Amino acid sequence: MNLWEHSSILIVVTPLIASIVNIFISLLKRSLCYPFFVGILGLCSLLSIDILSVVTTSGTIRYKLGGWTPPWGIEYTVDHLNAFLIIIISIISFIIAIYSKESIKKELTKARLPYFYSTYLLFVTGLLGITITGDIFNLYVFLEIASLAGYALIAIGERRSVLASFNYIIMGTVGACFYLLGVGYIYIITGSLNITDLSRLLPSLYESKVTLAALAFVVVGIAIKIALFPLHRWLPDSYTFAPSAVSAFASATMSKVGIYVLIRIFFTLFEPRFLTDITPLSNILIWWATVAIFFGSIIAIGQTDFKRTLSYILIAEVGYMVLGISLCNKEGFIGAVLHILNDAIMIACLFMIAGGIFYRVGSRNLEDFKGLGKSMPITMAAFTVAALSMIGIPPTGGFFSKWYLILGATKAEQWISVAALVFSSLVNAFIFFKLLEKIYFSKKEVIPKHNFRELPLSMIIPITIMALTILIIGFYSGRIISSLIRFTVPEGF
């Protein structure tokens, strides 16, 4: 039996089974859990690289579960866009797993560690499942697996994280239920749940009101899950009080996966013309996203807590990506997909650094950043790179995706959206330059007496890798677009 043929199912099943096995291992010997956990995520990364290489050489993978042919059976479809997201999720989860060793040890009691690893693996299962499945109901199940694991992971954080997690449960469940209702309406008119099959059946039903209701429910449901303003209320508290490894991982992947679901719904399930000509959804979403960008940026200025600042910046970034896909032109779409990659890495890197500062200094307050440039030089160098990328200064990755987004908005003649993108860059520049000034140039007498050292090696290495990746993506963004993202652009653009 050739195992590589089955890599698209193995990548979902491996972390799922491992999360249960992990509990049994913890009963035998607790110290074995961590190597097992990292090993499994390493295996997932290898599988994702294999999937990517298969997709780029021989096209879309269609894996029939249990040999049942679609539309009756569940089908796993992997094209360029899926492979792109799978590789982002599995590699970021692997890097943050390495990082989590020290940071989580400080934030959790020892007896809880195996459960943390198991829940983390379940979270990875859910996210990979969402990106790999070709069935809209199966997608709902994976969405809930990921969300449930997310609720639990957030609740194990600081004292106040429990209430944040509870609010997230209430909001997240409404989102998932709306999505499920949308699936129900799609099922009523088509009698199918397979995405490929639906894309064939739906075009003749575009005039039906049921289709419109279905689309409205699905879009609002996913908008709650990705925290698109004004449905963002659960996000800042959750990501501020969650353990730092969890905030880094969840912020980097959960919203990106939601954006992926939106892309699938808009451009695979429906056609671009449905958004632009038949319904005014494209225009509505452009305005919605523009408001989200303004809102996220403005609120981010006033925060004193570093993780909360990042959460609001994330809300603005979600606006970027929704704007990119709803512009319905090639440049905007490329910008959005490239920004999925860039933003995942930037925000993960910044949250990891926030966790690192919390690990040494014990505070997330922006005032306590003073003089850290001397005591933690490598971490702060990585911070500088991530911050420059967040602002969008070449040659970092963030510049190129923002450039494409602005090109797309200009082409669509959405001048207010262009203004929003520029405004958000200026706000990021304001926030991060102020921080960089505190870190490197604050006067000596202000520095409190401390002898903070550099972070332990298992935290430094993942942070450095992330920062270097930001630069590498910046240098090779042309190649990433021509060899991968070009193929994800839907027909009709």
Residues lying near another protein in the complex (CB under 8 A) are found at 137, 140-141, 144, 148, 151-152, 155, 159-160, 162-163, 165-166, 169-170, 173-174, 176-177, 180-181, 184, 187-188
Q: CB nearer to another protein: give 227 or 388.
A: 227
Q: CB nearer to another protein: give 152 or 313.
A: 152
Q: What is the DSSP string of 251-313?
A: HHHHHHHHHHHHHIIIIIIS-HHIIIIISSHHHHHHHHHHHHHHHHHHHHHT--BHHHHHHHH
Q: CB nearer to another protein: give 149 or 227.
A: 149
Q: CB nearer to another protein: give 154 or 420.
A: 154
Q: CB nearer to another protein: give 162 or 447.
A: 162
Q: CB nearer to another protein: give 170 or 284.
A: 170
Containing 118, the helix (H) or strand (E) segment is helix 113-132
Structure tokens at 230: 């004004």
**Min CB(100)–another protein separation in Å:** 21
Task: Give the side-chain half-sphere CA count within 13 A for 103.
Answer: 31
**Min CB(136)–another protein separation in Å:** 11
**Min CB(486)–another protein separation in Å:** 37
Going from the C-alpha of 196 to that of each of 133, 201, 443, the distances in angstroms are 11, 9, 61
**Min CB(23)–another protein separation in Å:** 16
**Contacting residues for 354 by C-beta, under 8 A, at least 6 apart:** 244, 247, 306, 307, 310, 364
**Min CB(483)–another protein separation in Å:** 38
DSSP 61: E
Task: Give the side-chain half-sphere CA count within 13 A for 464.
Answer: 11
**Min CB(173)–another protein separation in Å:** 5
**Min CB(231)–another protein separation in Å:** 14
Q: Is 63:6 a contact under the CB 8 Å cutoff? A: yes
Look-up: residue for tokens 């479809």?
A: 77
Q: CB nearer to another protein: give 148 or 344.
A: 148
CA distance linking residue 192 with residue 456, whole number of Å: 52
